[in-house]
Chain A
Amino acid sequence: MSRRGIIIAVTAALIAAGNLPAAAQGPSAAASVAVTEGSQFVANLASRAVGELTTDELPLPERVSRFRTLLTEAFDVPAIGRFVLGRYWRTANESERAEYLKLFEDFIVQTYVQRFNDFAGAQIRVLQTRAGRENEVIATVEAVLPGRPAARFDVRMQRDDGRFKIFDVIVEGISMSMTQRDDFAAVIQRNGGKVEGLLASLREKTRAVP
């Protein structure tokens, strides 16, 4: 047996016997706590969202305001907004940045309030949660709607100051943040690289958001 083989065997034996020194156990134990808590965070969010947003008689402004509350609590909306603007974040000036972040939130609210209407009666459950790079946690979620094939997606989140914030949702290999980034980048490019071109489109698109 090679030296490396021996080390692996001894380590395996130590883990099996539960004798691994506490110092070495630290990070992985912390990660597994984060994974468990991340899973609970997503499960709570899902049940709140379905419970609060898919009531039939809810008037639109109330639905939008509830959605906005959940969104800003659970998602790192400004960070996603900066990621989505990509390299144009650097070229935008202060007032453009501020207006962009406001319009971006409205745009996301508008898009996903509509998408969430379809989730009435959905059974959402967390299938699996795993630790990603850095302090990232990824939850695989399944939404089952009556009479339709189950939809699966990955929720990517990070813990910051003890609170989880979601920064991306991936549906069948398609990152929502990345897709939004490519969409916005094309608009800016078609307007000669000016962020103002995107802002004008977003103002137009989000005019009806209460």
Chain B
Amino acid sequence: MGLEIRDNKSNNGFCPSMKLPYFAGRSARLAGAMTAMLSVSACVIQDTPEKVAQVEETNDPFEPTNRYIFEVNRFLDEMLLKPVAWWYRAGVPDPARERIHLALANLRLPWTAVNDFFQGEMKRAYDSSARFVINTTVGVVGLFDVATGWGFPHHEEDAGQTFAVMGAPEGPYLMLPILGPSNPRDAAGLLVDYVADPVNLVLNNNGADAAGLARGGASSVDARERNLETIADLERNSVDFYATIRSIYRQRRASEIRNGAPDSTYPAPSLSQQK
């Protein structure tokens, strides 16, 4: 592991003593644990210049914990999500899966439009709204994508991206149990996505609380099935799968926040001159 805690004992890095805040009640243990984690990370940052550079690059002060959760998630994926995705592919013919994928994507559009609005992207909010109306009616509850042909291209937004556009910082990289790669901004976004999504609100108000969860499950299986080959390829062709996923997640989110615009901070390509 790159960031083992015991490394600190062997060098002369400064480790601040842990100060527990005087929180009362049940949250004290959680707060204590959080403080301990933060102190450990502060401790690690007091390390050699190499390690400081590494933490800055990877933005992953909780790497040992994150790697552990990653392995648990991989196990759960192997045992549960991946087999279900394979069954889904084997049992449901291609054209039917495509219809299901489009219908699930359609359900995301009202929430995408709300996020477009809060990001100040009125043209995109209009696109998403028009798309939803067209594909829900002419496209038969979203089973067919008519709107793209009519000049309303598909895009997705979520609360994590909206928080970023509003200026919320990314925070450290986090591997969430079951949910996968994230960071505090995206984790908060996921929660807001779930409770504020208009489709989920309508379902909940009609007593179909389980339908929201079923929708989440269906979306996961759909996404996993579509990425079976890509993820297997990444796993096979990376030396450190965890680091590859971390890199891809962070680059992908940054690109989504820029709505796919080129990255202006990308290092200048004067590669050949380094000889």
Interface residues of A (CB under 8 A from B): 76, 79-80, 82-83, 87, 110-111, 114-115, 118, 132-134, 136, 138, 147, 154, 156, 158, 160, 165, 167-168, 172-175, 178-179, 181-187, 189-190, 193, 198, 201-202, 205
Contacts and interface: CB of A to CB of B under 8 A. Distances in A.
Nearest to B268: A133
B255 A173 contact: yes
Nearest to A189: B2
Interface in B236-274: 236-240, 242-244, 246-248, 251-252, 254-256, 258, 260, 262-263, 266, 268-272, 274
Contacts of A83: 271
A167 B269 contact: yes
A114 B252 contact: no
Nearest to B259: A173
A125 B2 CA distance: 43
B237 A79 contact: no
B272 A182 contact: no
Given A82-B271, A167-B269, A183 B254 contact: no
Contacts of A82: 271, 274
Main secondary structure on chain B at its contact with chain A?
helix
Given A79-B274, A82-B271, A198-B239, A175 B266 contact: yes
A82 B267 CA distance: 14
20 contacts: A76-B271, A79-B272, A83-B271, A87-B53, A114-B236, A165-B272, A173-B258, A173-B263, A174-B251, A175-B251, A179-B244, A182-B58, A182-B244, A182-B247, A183-B239, A183-B240, A183-B244, A186-B242, A189-B2, A190-B2
A31 to B, nearest CB: 15
Given A114-B233, A182-B58, A184-B239, 4 more contacts: A76-B271, A174-B251, A178-B251, A186-B242
B54 A189 contact: yes
A167 B54 CA distance: 24
Interface residues of B, number: 37
Contacts, number: 97
A183 B271 contact: no
B80 interface: no
Contacts of A187: 239-240, 243
A173 B254 contact: yes
B247 A183 contact: yes
B11 to A, nearest CB: 13
Contact of A134 (B239, B263, B266, B268): B268
B1 A136 contact: no
Contacts of B240: 183, 186-187, 190
A73 to B, nearest CB: 15
Nearest to A79: B271
